[in-house]
A and B are shown apart, each in its own frame.
Chain A
Amino acid sequence: MTTGTTTPYRSRRPTGRAGFPHLLRAEWTKFRTVRGWVLAMTAAAVVIVSLGLIFATGSHSSCSIGTVEVACPKPPTGPGGELVDDRFYFVHQSLAGDGGITVRLTSMTGIITYPPPNHDKIVSGLVPWAKTGVIVKDGTRQGSAYAAMMVTADHGVRMQYDYTHDTAGRPGRVSAASPRWLRLNRSGDTLTGYESADGTQWTQVGTTHLPRLPATVQIGLFVASPSDLTVEQSALGGSVGQARYTQATAVFDHVGLRGTTPGGQWSRDDIGADGQTDWQRYHRPSGVRESGGAYTVTGSGDIAPLTDGPPIERTLIGMLAGLIVMIVVAVMFMTAEYRRGLIHTTLIASPRRGRVLAAKAVVIGLVAFVAGVAATAITVPSGTRILRRGGAFPFPVSSLTELRVIVGTAALLAVAAVLALALGALFRRSVAAIITAIVVIVVPYVLAFASVLPDDVTRWLLRLTPAAGFAIQQSVPEYKQVIGNYAPSAGYYPLAPWAGFAVLCAYAALALGLAAHRLRRRDA
């Protein structure tokens, strides 16, 4: 059969180019032309901002002196801008210019008031991070720069400086049979710590530069003993932390000062002391006694970063609601294709199916990211400001960390949206995909935050499920030299921020890969 004379049709139009950028543009056009999706994404951003600001405005802390309510005193801030604990007993002299101090420690003892299980006795003992030794400090103001060589109860010799830095020396406890010699030298802005078992063979533990240290510093002996913290899981979920007063006493001898000490006299200060406990009142106050060249110093407190208080990411309380909305939109962006067979039109227009899925993922990811970053960039800075005005003191963090929380949260939303989209492509049904996405992303996080499950279980959930990605929000690091309630419910994740985020990304990539495989292999 022939059709004889007919001339085949030729379009006079220039043909378009259909590359990946065009596919992206097509998917963007698809997204923006469904008003419900655009509104929902906007609403998600608005929810994040408004819940965050409402939370910040509603948070109000006050302290009382007797029966009078006053604004809480702001905790001291360390040289790095972080909030710190700075309470200890200090026996000190002024040191002008370079110099150093050498001591021998022969004893470290202490008491813990009413510890578990019965909470009915004051027992002798030391908390693991009770610490004593020699220190060079920029005056006696709380939060000022310092460097210290110390012996701890359970963590051996350490060199610590400026609250967050900690270097380990020789392990082991101090006793009369096993004394410790400590030495701390200042030379310009360089501080170097040494330890020795016998006072002749010295080992360097660490060295640091503290450029902001003034010419004249306070140098001397110190004792600190942090509160004894226990965290109990309550049967109904949640955990209760209890802190009990402790005290440590150390005996120093062979105290040797090198350098110019203008006063020549020991001063004594109970740094950061606020009132006395009954133990101090009736049994043993903080202080120092000297007899025959030996100094017995008793003190309490800690020189360390603070670990409790609202972190800045707490202002992102509305993020969960926003996330759920974004999951729903992302799933629908995919399943709407299947609902009425639109996928056929899509695949006829773009037969390379993997690219279609990739374009959809890029579009929904970018949309979620932009909506997310718009919300977090408003919520975190203004929420933090409002919290501070309300008397709560959110942990100050570096602007790089704040940027990580703001951008990271938006990235978390974006990758979660991509994961939800991939689930939509795998299930092809909205309800199943939405439920699955919420179960794997939101539920583990809620369980962790509500601490319904034992902390160990939630830690595993936050390592293994896509909810690990929430770690990107953690702004305050865990400090090994401070015993704290580092529970998921307090905002501490088992994985490092980017590692947790990588887990979420891996899940999204896996789901997307499976979805692409299925889309390619099966008839549409």
Chain B
Amino acid sequence: MEATIEVSGLRKRFGSTVALDGMSFTVRPGQVTGFVGPNGAGKSTTMRVVLGLDAADEGRALIGGRPYRSLRNPLSHVGALLDAAALQPSRTGRNHLLWLAHSQGLTARQVDEVIEQVGLRTAERRRAGGYSLGMRQRLGIAAALLGDPPVLMFDEPFNGLDLDGIVWIRGFLRSLAAEGRAVLVSSHLMSELQDIAGHIVVVGRGRVLADASVADLIAAASRDRVTLRTTARSEAMTALAHAGATVAATDRDTLTVSGLAAEHIVAVLGERAVPFSEVTAHRATLEEAYMDLTRDAVQFAAPGPEAAR
């Protein structure tokens, strides 16, 4: 079986709310695919449809070419962490994994292996209700790894984790992808995926806004932008805006200018005698690329950083 997730043309409504509006993308093996979008963009719903928990009104979702519900021992095909809190609190972590293993015809030895893998050895015989959020995430990841599947899906695995936990998960995801697995990781914060995702699917309002490698995304977002360092920020903004550029303040003495070439900017500032120390072609961060793409897709947008300043 090929280690892929293929989602094509998924549509789903909950009453009058459109949750998925033609969601289509493919997750390929050997890299971490970031699944990014604001809350309510349809990330969790897409994952639930892929896992057969929700039925789409239209479209299809396939794991290695097969619908999830047709898989005979699904945990050997896909491992998923949807909600780390979905536990019976009075059951121990080990027993939680044990019933899952039994449901797949797997053995207690495989349970011990994944416990070792996620570092839960010392807590395995404690009631899961007493676990910290980080331990629950580890337990959820252990559950996802139980069948040693070639495809993995993690929904917001960084939520509520401390820094140690985040570092651990990032390393873990990277190594899983390096083994040749297809790894889909959803997040509402692009920054969490920086450095680990090789590919990004950006979604908003139930559809894909961008589906590209990280390098391509950054290149696209960097185009036509210039970073300007100046001590006279407001004069520079007025002058450049007057000249037809779009200006955004990114720091106390830094502006991002688009819609005007670098030589034009230098000319405009020289003409008005606005001091500046540096003009460089801008290299966008993943975060900026994301903000660009999702600006229109954020459903309940908070006041942007410019307006707050």
- Chain B residues with CB under 8 Å of A7's CB are 30, 180
Kindly state whether residue B54 has any CB partner on chain A within 8 Å.
Answer: yes
A-B contact count (CB 8 A): 145
A34-B88, A349-B103 given as contacts; is B95 within 8 A of A29 (CB)? yes
Kindly state whether residue B245 has any CB partner on chain A within 8 Å.
Answer: no
- Chain B residues with CB under 8 Å of A265's CB are none
Kindly state whether residue A23 has any CB partner on chain B within 8 Å.
Answer: yes
- Contact indicator A13/B2 (Cβ below 8 Å): no
- Chain A residues with CB under 8 Å of B110's CB are 13
- Contact indicator B150/A10 (Cβ below 8 Å): yes
- Contact indicator B102/A340 (Cβ below 8 Å): no
Q: Whole-angstrom distance from the CB of A343 to the nearest CB of chain B?
A: 8
Task: List B57-77 residues whose CB lies under 8 Å from chain A.
Answer: 68-69, 71-76
Kindly state whether residue A121 has any CB partner on chain B within 8 Å.
Answer: no
Task: List B267-303 residues whose CB lies under 8 Å from chain A.
Answer: none
What mask results when residues 16 to 37 of chain B are scored 1 for a CB within 8 Å of chain A, else 0? 0000000000001111000000
- Contact indicator B199/A16 (Cβ below 8 Å): no
Kindly state whether residue B86 has any CB partner on chain A within 8 Å.
Answer: yes
Kindly state whether residue B213 has any CB partner on chain A within 8 Å.
Answer: yes
A9 to B147, CA, bound (A): 13
Kindly state whether residue B116 has any CB partner on chain A within 8 Å.
Answer: no
- Chain A residues with CB under 8 Å of B87's CB are 340, 342
Closest to A2 in B: B28
Task: List B136-162 residues whose CB lies under 8 Å from chain A.
Answer: 143, 147-150
A141 to B175, CA, bound (A): 93
A26 to B146, CA, bound (A): 14
Q: Whole-angstrom distance from the CB of B140 to the nearest CB of chain A?
A: 9
- Chain A residues with CB under 8 Å of B95's CB are 29, 33
Kindly state whether residue B51 has any CB partner on chain A within 8 Å.
Answer: yes
- Contact indicator A340/B85 (Cβ below 8 Å): yes
Chain A residues bordering chain B, tally (CB within 8 A): 43
- Chain B residues with CB under 8 Å of A26's CB are 99-100, 102-103
- Chain A residues with CB under 8 Å of B213's CB are 1
Kindly state whether residue B244 has any CB partner on chain A within 8 Å.
Answer: no
- Chain A residues with CB under 8 Å of B89's CB are 340
The listed residue (A1, A10, A28, A34) touching B90 by CB distance below 8 A is A34
Kindly state whether residue A168 has any CB partner on chain B within 8 Å.
Answer: no
The listed residue (A11, A23, A524) touching B54 by CB distance below 8 A is A524
Kindly state whether residue A523 has any CB partner on chain B within 8 Å.
Answer: yes
Kindly state whether residue A18 has any CB partner on chain B within 8 Å.
Answer: yes
Kindly state whether residue B179 has any CB partner on chain A within 8 Å.
Answer: yes
A348-B80, A349-B104 given as contacts; is B88 within 8 A of A340 (CB)? yes
A16-B76, A342-B88, A523-B55 given as contacts; is B71 within 8 A of A351 (CB)? yes
Kindly state whether residue A15 has any CB partner on chain B within 8 Å.
Answer: yes
Q: Whole-angstrom distance from the CB of B212 to the nearest CB of chain A?
A: 7
- Chain A residues with CB under 8 Å of B123's CB are none
- Chain B residues with CB under 8 Å of A18's CB are 72-74, 103-105
- Chain B residues with CB under 8 Å of A74's CB are none
A348 to B289, CA, bound (A): 34
A3 to B103, CA, bound (A): 34
Task: List B104-145 residues whose CB lies under 8 Å from chain A.
Answer: 104-107, 110, 143
Kindly state whether residue A30 has any CB partner on chain B within 8 Å.
Answer: yes
- Contact indicator A344/B83 (Cβ below 8 Å): yes
Kindly state whether residue A292 has any CB partner on chain B within 8 Å.
Answer: no
Kindly state whether residue B82 has any CB partner on chain A within 8 Å.
Answer: yes
Closest to B96 in A: A33
A9-B150, A344-B83, A523-B53 given as contacts; is B88 within 8 A of A17 (CB)? no
Kindly state whether residue A117 has any CB partner on chain B within 8 Å.
Answer: no
- Chain A residues with CB under 8 Å of B48's CB are 344, 523
Kindly state whether residue A6 has any CB partner on chain B within 8 Å.
Answer: yes
Closest to A37 in B: B90
- Chain B residues with CB under 8 Å of A33's CB are 91-92, 95-96, 98-99
- Chain A residues with CB under 8 Å of B71's CB are 351
Q: Whole-angstrom distance from the CB of A380 to the nearest CB of chain B?
A: 34
A345 to B155, CA, bound (A): 13
What mask results when residues 340 to 372 of chain A are scored 1 for a CB within 8 Å of chain B, else 0? 111011111111100000000000000000000
Q: Whole-angstrom distance from the CB of B144 to the nearest CB of chain A?
A: 9
The 8 closest A-B CB pairs, nearest first, are A6-B30, A16-B105, A26-B103, A33-B95, A9-B180, A341-B86, A29-B99, A18-B73
Chain B residues with a Cβ under 8 A of chain A: 2-3, 28-31, 48, 51-55, 68-69, 71-76, 80, 82-83, 85-92, 95-96, 98-107, 110, 143, 147-150, 179-182, 198-199, 212-213
A9-B179, A15-B73 are known; give 6 further A-B pairs, CB within 8 A. Answer: A3-B198, A11-B150, A33-B99, A340-B85, A344-B51, A348-B51
